[in-house]
Amino acid sequence: MATYRRIDVSKLGEVSVVKFVDKKILEEAGIQELGAELFGLVELENRKTILLNFSGVEFLSSAALGKLITLDRKVKANKGRLKMSNIRPEIFEVFQVTKLNKVFDIRGEESEAIAAFTA
């Protein structure tokens, strides 16, 4: 199993639950590293069922959103599923403004998102 600096990955059944280490995902170098770690889950570890839990994230830059869009494409190309949970209202607002709430499957709580994978 790989070692990560920007994410914390755990398994709950078939679901890979990803939590973010950084509260503010802003600077370019950190976002590049974050992207590489997230893409590695799909490309190197062949994980198909991924839940991104944003409970510790206070701020997300537009560059980070770009990484999430790319991750979504990679997961779908790999015949996998990606869901998100625990997004703060002020961050969710950015998803709404950019219409990304229509692209991503966003659930309120982690347990709700995990249940949605089996539904």
Domain locations in the chain as residue ranges: 7-118
| Tokens found for residue 49 | 């069922």
Alpha helices (H) in 23-81, listed in sequence order: 28-43, 62-77
In this prediction, residue 119 carries a pLDDT of 79
Superfamily of domain 7-118: STAS domain (3.30.750.24)
In this prediction, residue 1 carries a pLDDT of 56
Task: Dump pLDDT digits (tens) for 8-33.
Answer: 999 999 999 999 999 999 999 999 99
Give the phi and the psi of residue 61 in degrees, each rounded to 5.
Answer: -80, 165
Evaluate whether 46 touches 78 at the Cβ level (below 8 Å): yes
0.75 surpassed by pTM: yes
Average pLDDT of the segment spanning 70-76: 98
